[in-house]
C-alpha cells in the first residue's frame, strides 16, 4: 500500500481562551515519517485529534490522503489508522476478540476478520496471549494490541500518539521495531513523542512544537546540530556545594547551565568529563553523579527557547 | 520478522478498497456489533446482581414493609408496587448507560470509534440496543417476582405489551439524558453518583411507593405534576385496566418532550467527546 500525504496549513485550534494549536503548518510526504516532538501541553494530541476528525478546526486547513478534514471527514477516516495515547482496547475481551470486533466493524467478513486477527497477533508477539483477557496483559502488550487494532484494515496514513509513553525500555524497543516495520511497508506515519531519542530513531523529519507553535523543523541531524550533541551532566544534591560547583565550572568553561540539582556542561568527550571531575575535586564538591548524557527534549527546548521545560527524563515513566 | 502489515503476509481482505460509512445498513450492522460488545462488557456477575437479585429484593422488601400498612388504606400493594420498581430499574439502566459512556471516554474507546470509518450513529444505536436489552431483562425479572407476590395484568395482553413498551421507552428517554452527562465526563463513578442524587429524590417524591394523596399537602402538587409520577400512573393504568388513554397520553407527551431535550444535549455532548 502506498502512503498518502498530510498537508497542514496554518491550522488553529482553541479551547475557550486557550490556544492549543496556533497557526501550525507542515507537510508529510507520502511514505515518510514525521515526528511531532514536544512536552506535555505542547499541542501534539490536539493536532492529531484535529487531523483524525475528532475535533473541528478553528482555522486553517488540513488535507489527509487527499481528503480535506473539514469538508470530507468520512474520506479522512477511511484513509487513516489512529493509535491514541491511551491503549484503547476492551479489558474484559481477549486480544483476539478485540481485533475481530474491529475487523467486523470495518466490514471484514467473519472469516477475514478472524484471519487478519491471527496474522496481527502473530506479527505483534501476542500469539501466546491471544485468548487471554486484555486485563492480564502487560503495558507493552496492551500498546502492541492497541497498535494492531488500528491496523486491522491497512490505511495509507497512520497516526501514532505517544506510542511509547509509559513503557519500560524493553517495551519501548519492541514498539520501535514494530513502528520501523510500518515505515518499511511504505505507510505515511505521523508520530508524536516527548522523546528526542524516539523521534531520532523513527522520524525522517521532526517538527518541534512548543505551546501550540512550531519552534523548529528539520531532520534529526539538523536538530541535533542545533542542540550541540551530548552533554556532560553533574548531579549535586547539596545546594551550597552545587553553587560552588557551578561558579567554578563557569570560570573555566562555556555554556554551563543549571536546572534543579542538575548541572549541564556542553561537550561530551572524555576530555570534558575529566576536566569537570578535576574542577569538582579541586573545589571539594562531592557530586552524586557525573556522566555523559545524550541530549533530551529538555536540551532541545533549552537550545531553541532558552528556557527549561518540565519534561520527563528520557527513560522516565508517566503515571 | 515479517510484519503483518507487509504485503506478503497480509490477507487480501486487509487491502480492500475504501468504503463509505454512511447508510442504514452500516448503522444497523455496526450498531449491532457494538451492542454485542456493550452487552459482553457488562460482566455476568454484575448483571445478575443488579438486574436480577436487587429488583427481586426490592419487590419483596417493600411489600413486606408497606404491604399491610397500605392494605389498611385499601391499596392492593402487590398490584401497586411492581410498576414502581420497573420505573426504578429503568433509571438504573439509564445510569449504567452514562457510566459506560464515561468509561469509554476515559479509556479512549469512544475516540477510537469516532476516528474509525464506521457510521456516525452506530455508537448510539449500540448503546440503545444494549440498554433496551438490560431494560427488558429487568422488566421480566420484576414482573415475574410481582407475579409470585400476586401482581396480575388485568387488561389483557395488548395492554401488557404496551406496559413493556412504555417502560423500555422510558429507559431510553432517560438514557438519552444520562448519556449527555456521561459523555461530558471521563469519570464513571462521579457520573453515577451525580445521577443518583438526581434520580433518588425524583423517585421518592412521586407516586412510586405510596399514593400521591399520602404526601403532605405542600408537596402533593409537585408529586402529581412530575414526569416520574406520570409514567408510573400510566404503567399502573395499563396493568390494572380501567381508563388508559388519559394517563398514557400524559406519559407519552412527557417522554416525547424529555427525549427531544435530552437528545439535543446528548448529540452535543457526543460531538464534543474526544
Residues in chain A: 319
pLDDT band at B2 (very low <50, low <70, confident <90, very high): very low
What are the chain B neighbours of A113 within 8 Å (beta carbons)? 13
pLDDT of residue B13: 41
B264 touches chain A (CB under 8 A): no
Mean pLDDT, residues B181-196: 93
Task: Determine contact, residues A19/A190, Cβ cutoff 8 Å.
Answer: no
Tens-place pLDDT, residues A162-191: 999 888 888 899 899 989 888 888 899 999
Partner residue facing A88 (CB), from B2, B20, B108? B108
Task: State the count of interchain CB pairs (< 8 A) between A and B.
Answer: 126
pLDDT of residue A307: 65
HEC string of B222-250 equals: HHHHCHHHHHHHHHHHHHHCCCCHHHHHH
Phi, psi (deg, nearest 5) at residue A303: -65, -35
Chain B's closest residue to A121, CA to CA, is: B4
Task: Determine contact, residues A167/A138, Cβ cutoff 8 Å.
Answer: no
Tens-place pLDDT, residues A207-249: 999 999 999 999 888 887 776 667 788 898 888 889 899 999 8
Cell readout for A119 is 496474522
Distance from CA of B21 to the nearest CA of A (A): 7
Whole-angstrom distance, CA of residue A179 vs CA of residue A200: 13
pLDDT of residue B156: 92
Q: Is the pLDDT of residue B221 over 50?
A: yes
Mean pLDDT, residues A300-305: 73
pLDDT of residue A229: 67
Residue A169: half-sphere exposure toward Cβ, Cα within 13 Å = 5
Whole-angstrom distance, CA of residue B132 vs CA of residue A136: 31
Among A16-30, A263-277, B47-61, B117-131, which stretch is predicted with the lowest mean pLDDT? A263-277
Distance from CA of A148 to the nearest CA of B (A): 9
- When scoring B6, B9, B13 by the number of chain A Cβ atoms within 10 A, the one with the most, hence best to mutate, is B13
Partner residue facing B37 (CB), from A74, A101, A153? A101
Q: Is the pLDDT of residue A3 over 90?
A: no
Tens-place pLDDT, residues B13-22: 444 445 578 8
- When scoring B117, B188, B271 by the number of chain A Cβ atoms within 10 A, the one with the most, hence best to mutate, is B117
Mean of per-residue pLDDT scores for chain A = 88
What are the chain B neighbours of A104 within 8 Å (beta carbons)? 33
pLDDT of residue B10: 41
B45 touches chain A (CB under 8 A): no
HEC string of B42-60 equals: CCHHHHHHHHHHHHHHHHH
Partner residue facing B274 (CB), from A55, A78, A102? A55
Distance from CA of A62 to the nearest CA of B (A): 16
* Cβ-defined contact of A123 to B19 (cutoff 8 Å): no
Partner residue facing B11 (CB), from A102, A119, A178? A119
Distance from CA of A78 to the nearest CA of B (A): 5
pLDDT of residue A2: 67
Distance from CA of A27 to the nearest CA of B (A): 21
Q: In chain B, what's the furthest Cα-to-Cα distance?
A: 81
Exposure class string for A262-296: b at 16+ Cβ within 10 A, else e = bbbbbbbeeebbebbeebbeeeebebeebeebbbb
Task: Determine contact, residues A190/A51, Cβ cutoff 8 Å.
Answer: yes
Distance from CA of A116 to the nearest CA of B (A): 7
pLDDT of residue A203: 93
Phi, psi (deg, nearest 5) at residue A205: -135, 150
Chain A's closest residue to B43, CA to CA, is: A92
Greater pLDDT, A1 or A258: A258
Integer Rg of chain B from CA: 22
* Cβ-defined contact of A154 to B10 (cutoff 8 Å): yes
Amino acid at each position: 500500500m502506498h502512503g498518502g500525504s498530510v498537508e497542514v496549513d496554518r491550522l488553529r485550534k482553541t479551547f475557550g481562551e486557550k490556544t492549543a494549536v496556533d497557526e501550525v503548518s507542515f507537510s508529510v510526504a507520502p511514505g515518510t515519517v514525521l515526528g511531532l516532538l514536544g512536552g506535555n501541553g505542547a499541542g501534539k494530541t490536539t493536532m492529531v485529534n484535529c487531523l483524525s476528525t475528532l475535533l473541528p478546526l478553528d482555522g486553517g486547513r488540513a488535507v489527509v490522503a487527499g481528503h480535506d478534514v473539514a469538508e470530507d471527514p468520512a474520506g479522512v477516516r477511511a484513509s487513516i489508522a489512529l493509535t491514541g495515547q491511551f491503549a484503547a482496547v476492551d479489558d474484559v475481551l481477549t486480544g483476539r476478540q478485540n481485533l475481530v470486533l474491529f475487523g467486523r466493524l470495518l466490514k471484514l467478513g467473519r472469516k477475514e476478520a478472524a484471519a487478519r486477527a491471527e496474522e496481527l497477533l502473530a506479527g505483534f508477539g501476542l500469539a501466546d496471549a491471544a485468548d487471554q483477557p486484555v486485563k492480564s496483559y502487560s503495558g507493552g502488550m496492551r500498546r502492541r494490541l492497541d497498535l494492531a487494532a488500528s491496523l486491522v484494515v491497512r490505511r495509507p496514513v497512520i497516526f501514532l500518539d505517544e506510542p511509547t509513553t509509559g513503557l519500560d525500555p524493553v517495551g519501548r524497543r519492541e514498539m520501535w521495531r514494530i513502528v520501523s516495520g510500518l515505515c518499511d511497508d511504505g505507510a505515511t506515519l505521523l508520530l508524536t513523542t516527548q522523546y528526542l531519542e524516539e523521534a531520532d530513531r523513527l522520524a525522517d523529519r521532526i517538527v518541534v512544537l512548543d505551546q501550540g507553535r512550531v519552534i523548529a523543523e528539520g531532520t534529526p541531524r539538523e536538530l541535533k546540530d542545533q542542540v550541540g550533541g551530548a552533554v556532560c551532566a553533574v548531579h549535586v544534591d547539596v545546594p551550597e556545594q552545587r553553587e560552588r560547583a557551578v561558579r567554578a565550572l563557569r570560570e573555566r568553561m562555556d555554556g554551563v547551565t543549571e536546572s534543579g540539582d542538575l548541572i549541564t556542561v556542553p561537550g561530551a568527550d572524555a576530555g570534558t568529563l575529566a576536566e569537570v571531575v578535576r574542577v569538582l575535586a579541586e573545589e571539594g564538591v562531592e557530586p552524586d553523579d557525573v556522566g555523559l548524557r545524550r541530549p533530551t527534549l529538555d536540551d532541545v527546548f533549552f537550545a531553541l527557547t532558552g528556557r527549561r521545560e518540565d519534561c520527563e527524563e528520557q527513560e522516565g515513566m508517566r503515571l | 520478522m515479517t510484519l503483518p502489515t507487509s504485503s506478503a503476509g497480509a490477507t487480501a481482505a486487509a487491502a480492500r478498497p475504501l468504503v463509505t460509512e454512511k447508510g442504514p445498513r452500516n448503522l444497523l450492522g455496526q450498531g449491532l456489533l457494538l451492542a454485542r460488545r456493550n452487552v459482553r462488557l457488562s460482566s455476568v456477575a454484575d448483571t445478575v446482581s443488579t438486574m436480577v437479585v436487587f429488583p427481586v429484593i426490592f419487590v419483596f422488601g417493600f411489600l413486606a414493609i408497606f404491604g399491610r400498612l397500605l392494605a389498611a388504606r385499601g391499596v392492593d400493594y402487590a398490584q401497586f408496587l411492581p410498576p414502581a420498581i420497573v420505573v426504578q430499574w429503568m433509571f438504573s439502566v439509564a445510569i449504567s448507560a452514562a457510566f459506560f459512556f464515561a468509561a469509554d471516554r476515559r479509556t479512549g474507546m469512544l475516540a477510537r470509534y469516532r476516528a474509525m470509518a464506521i457510521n456516525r450513529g452506530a455508537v448510539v444505536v449500540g448503546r440503545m440496543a444494549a440498554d433496551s436489552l438490560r431494560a427488558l431483562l429487568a422488566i421480566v425479572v420484576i414482573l415475574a417476582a410481582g407475579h409470585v407476590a400476586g401482581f396480575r395484568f388485568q387488561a389483557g395482553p395488548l395492554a401488557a405489551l404496551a406496559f413493556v413498551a412504555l417502560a423500555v421507552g422510558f429507559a431510553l428517554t432517560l438514557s438519552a439524558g444520562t448519556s449527555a452527562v456521561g459523555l461530558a465526563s471521563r469519570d464513571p463513578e462521579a457520573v453515577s453518583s451525580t445521577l443518583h442524587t438526581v434520580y433518588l429524590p425524583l423517585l421518592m417524591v412521586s407516586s412510586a411507593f405510596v399514593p400521591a394523596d399520602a404526601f403532605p399537602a405542600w408537596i402533593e402538587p409537585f408529586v402529581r405534576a412530575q414526569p416520574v409520577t406520570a409514567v408510573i400512573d400510566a404503567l399502573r393504568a395499563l396493568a390494572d385496566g380501567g381508563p388508559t388513554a388519559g394517563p398514557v397520553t400524559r406519559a407519552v407527551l412527557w417522554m416525547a418532550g424529555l427525549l427531544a431535550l435530552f437528545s439535543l444535549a446528548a448529540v452535543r455532548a457526543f460531538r464534543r467527546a474526544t
